[in-house]
Amino acid sequence: MPEISAVIITFNEERYIGRCISSLEGIADEVIVVDSFSTDGTREICLNHNVKFSQHRFEGYVEQKNYAMSLAANKWILSLDADEALSDESRRSILEIKDNLNHEGYIFNRLNNYCGKWIRYSRWYPDRHMRLFDRTKGRWTGLNPHDSFRLDKGCRSLRLKGDIHHILYESIEEHVEKINRFSTISADAYFRAGRRAGPLTAHFHMAWSFFRSFILNAGFLDGYYGYMGCMISATGTFLKYSKLRNLQYQAKHSTKK
């Protein structure tokens, strides 16, 4: 039976990391945590769970996940974020295929919890992600802060039954704080990648983001928190492109000095 290395990156995740690691018991043959020098109790909780714990300076989500993966002893990787945990059904799905891993990657639905409510519509469900894969057949890629594991051309993937449970945001205030931070990271990544925004780009993308999530993907069926989640996320899209345009403006005027 192939052995699996579970890999997690952390920074100040004392609220969730114990739950994440516990969900891996009986599934992973080793658990590796790469921490970005947390200042809370993350390190102590990890050591109490007897994981392989190391610290590494954070250079970006994609870079950190590729680095953490390089520390694994096994070629099969089960990647979870610190605020995620395997459900009972997803655990069973992994155990059923563990001795017959005939695809290079396995995809799970992610069920997001927003302000205490499980969100089952909008673009937050099924929110599919590849979480179990052969690390020799691909690598983490994407524009920070959004990362995804991309398989090499010709590799096959399969979606498994069961959700990964994800604590997305515990409060509206946390959501607002995070979209402000993430929109800055995204705008910088877009700018360095050569992406540009016009005068109406931010407005268009905000409107489309809300319409797609709340109407086309039925976010209205999740009630009040479905509306708030779609609206604040759309606002994050507006901020991302507005900040990108501001970077363009600053770059243009700095060259005239």
pTM tops 0.85: yes
Dist CA 16 CA 116 (whole Å): 14
Dihedrals phi, psi of 93, to nearest 5 degrees: -60, -40
Report domain extents, the chain: 4-169, 172-254
Dihedrals phi, psi of 231, to nearest 5 degrees: -70, -45
Provide the β-strand partners of residue 163: 109
Cis peptide bond N-terminal to 126, omega within 30: yes
Dist CA 14 CA 151 (whole Å): 32
Quote the tokens at residue 59: 């250079």
Please give the single-letter amino acid code of residue 205.
H
How much is the pLDDT for 50?
A: 86
How much is the pLDDT for 252?
A: 86
Quote the tokens at residue 205: 């993308």
Asked whether 32 and 72 are in contact (CB, 8 A), the reply is yes
Burial class (CB within 10 angstroms; exposed 0-12, middle 13-18, buried 19+) of 25: exposed
Fold held by 4-169: Spore Coat Polysaccharide Biosynthesis Protein SpsA; Chain A (3.90.550)
How much is the pLDDT for 257?
A: 55
Provide the β-strand partners of residue 159: 107
Mean pLDDT by 10 residues, the chain (257 residues): 94 97 97 98 95 95 96 97 97 95 97 97 95 97 91 97 97 96 94 95 98 97 97 98 96 74
